[in-house]
Amino acid sequence: MLPSIGFAQKKATLKDRWRNSIGASAHLLMIRKNVSPAFGLFYNPQINLVNKYGDFSLAATMPLTLGVHIKDTWIKKTYFYGHIPAVLEANIGHYSTRDFRSDIGMGLGVGYGVQINGENISSGFVATLAARTWFFKGSLTFRYLFHLNVQGTGYHSHALGVAVNMGNYFNKLTHMNKMSKFQNFK
């Protein structure tokens, strides 16, 4: 049984469990001791599996990247790049649920993912670390992701992403006076 973190939520509908964010990411593909970058758009749909506490959740998430690798010294061709991981992530604090009360938060997760490098497809283990906080009147997530390639002709990779957390419920938090100790959003 998990310890009580924050306040318990009353509802458990799909709408209350669903969160998503959109942004950009850069992946550093490891080629022996060198790196070659790939850049893309980042979308992170997430559904909370454990949603009982206001400032803690256990979530299934897919931090997707679709983009391009541009020809460089180490990989001599330009091609479509994609990274599609499935991750189980523990979140604490800011943006862990729709009922959070913290101004900062983090997530830590592990999973398995597919990497698309042009015509080559590979797969491997994924680990991710996320930090979340307020940015003006919105919410941002900064995410680090490591892909350990174990099958196929892909690469180990390190990724950094920044995403805007989406949701009209941020207004609801202001209305319910849950954010008054953090910021004045009038």
Task: Give 84-118 pLDDT, tens digit per residue.
Answer: 999 999 999 887 776 676 789 999 999 999 999 98
Percent with pLDDT over 90 in the chain: 51
**pLDDT of 2 above 60:** no
What's the pLDDT at 171? Answer: 58
- Is the model more confident about 179 or about 149? 149
CATH 2.40.160.20 fits 14-175, yes or no: yes
Q: Which band of pLDDT confidence, cut at 50, 70 and 90, is reported for residue 180? A: very low
Q: Where are the domains of the chain?
A: 14-175
pTM of the model: 0.81
Q: Which band of pLDDT confidence, cut at 50, 70 and 90, is reported for residue 48? A: confident
Q: Which band of pLDDT confidence, cut at 50, 70 and 90, is reported for residue 178? A: very low
Please give the full DSSP string across the chain, using - where no structure is assigned. -PPP-S-B-S---HHHHEEEEEEEEEEEEEETTEEEEEEEEEEEEEEEEEEEETTEEEEEE--EEEEEE---SSS-S-EEEEEEEEEEEEEEETTSSTT---SEEEEEEEEEEEEEETTEEEEEEEEEEEEEEEETTEEEEEEEEEEEEEEES--EEEEEEEEEEE-THHHHHHHTTSSTTT----
